[in-house]
Amino acid sequence: MRRMVQAALAGLVLAALPAHAQDAPSFFDGADPDFEVADGQYWLYPTFGGKTLVAWHSPDMKNWEKGPVLLDHSMIPWIDDDHAPEHRLWAPDMVRANGRYYFYYSIGPQNPTPSRIGVARCEGPAGPCKDSGKPLVNDGGHGFEAIDPAVFVDPRTKTAYLYAGGSAGATLRVWMLKPDMVSIDHEVKVQTPAHFTEGSFMFERNGTYYLSYSSGNFRDTTYSVHYATAKSPTGPWTYRGPILVSDAKYKGPGHHAFLRDPKDGRWYIAYHRWEGQPHDGPYTGSRRVAITTVAFGKDGSILPVKMD
């Protein structure tokens, strides 16, 4: 059933907020949201449950409607190649390139078999999607786990890069994609930035490349978002510090995506957090997806993001 989710604070209009200001209410249970704009709508692609991946869309960032399933286990022909007894889908990333849409995702378990990264071709931001027929990254062990894909198309060169990795290995790897967006061209050796755990994201602003990522344990207050900058999409990185951390009300914010709104040029961050948790963790239950405005300093730094 399609569901309309109303924001918890009626009448809150994000566009009216100052650039450093109040957090939007959280919208629905979920984690690891990708954040896009297409076809006059805002789109969120979260993790939830592990069996399916879906898109949520909104005309105004307040009222979110759940769309059809983009991907489930039955749509991945190679899912059982690892002979694991069960599988989970998480951390999706939707990217538009070549006039089409490409949907990247993690598939596990991470143990005892290696996790993998897949990609599907989609007709639009709400699908339908068809898996490419093979893993894009099928490489575990040696201090690396194939999780949390994030694809960035450099606006200067039009080159597409895949960023992935984290958790127990806490290792970042980067690959250049072929023009078809579903094949690896070659790996680009990069440095893993300071305090990196998982959930990387890349964007460019005014000639500076921003690599942001989650740090800490996702089940407690140590989980947070940090960032580094560089003059190229592959570094070398200059660590710039944390920008989104736990406070008295919201805990463990992380695994995020940035979006520049083409309507007014303002920047936003979508992320997940724990709510209603009075202690420091570990937490159980469901995380919530939220959106907050982002502001930059005169030197290009990302100012600390306030959740309330």
Alpha carbons 155 and 161: distance in angstroms, whole number: 12
Is 18 exposed, middle or buried (CB count within 10 Å of its CB: 0-12, 13-18, 19+)? exposed
Global model pTM greater than 0.85: yes
**Residue 307 within any structural domain of the chain:** no
Please give the residue range of the domain that contains residue 106.
Answer: 4-8+17-294
**Which residues on neighbouring strands pair with residue 260, listed in sequence order?**
267
**Residue 306 within any structural domain of the chain:** no
For tokens 């993790």, the residue is 47
Q: Report the pLDDT value the prediction gives residue 25, as an integer from 0 to 100.
A: 55
Pick the closest to residue 162 from 198, 129, 126, 137 (CA basis): 137
User: At residue 192, what are phi and psi to the nearest 5 degrees?
Assistant: -75, 125
Alpha carbons 179 and 92: distance in angstroms, whole number: 20
Pick the closest to residue 134 from 118, 149, 150 (CA basis): 118
The answer for residues whose C-beta is within 8 angstroms of residue 130's C-beta and 6 or more apart is 75, 120, 121, 122
Q: Report the pLDDT value the prediction gives residue 169, as an integer from 0 to 100.
A: 74
**Residue 104 within any structural domain of the chain:** yes
Number of alpha carbons in the 13 Å side-chain half-sphere of residue 10? 0
**Residue 304 within any structural domain of the chain:** no
Alpha carbons 275 and 87: distance in angstroms, whole number: 27
DSSP 228-244: EEESSTT---EEEEEEE
**Count of beta carbons in the 10 Å neighbourhood of residue 287:** 28
Cβ–Cβ < 8 Å for 34, 260: no
**Number of compact structural domains in the chain:** 1
The CATH number that applies at residue 79 is 2.115.10.20
Extract the tokens encoding 57: 């869309």
DSSP class of residue 16 equals G
**Residue 299 within any structural domain of the chain:** no
- Tens of pLDDT along the chain (308 residues) come to 333 333 332 232 233 333 333 344 578 999 999 999 999 999 999 999 999 999 999 999 989 999 999 999 999 999 999 999 999 999 999 999 999 999 999 999 988 888 999 999 999 999 999 999 999 998 766 778 999 999 999 999 999 999 999 977 789 999 999 999 999 999 999 999 999 999 999 999 999 999 999 999 999 999 999 999 999 999 999 999 999 999 999 999 999 999 999 999 999 999 999 999 999 999 999 999 999 999 999 999 999 999 97
**Residue 302 within any structural domain of the chain:** no
**Residue 55 within any structural domain of the chain:** yes
**Residue 164 within any structural domain of the chain:** yes
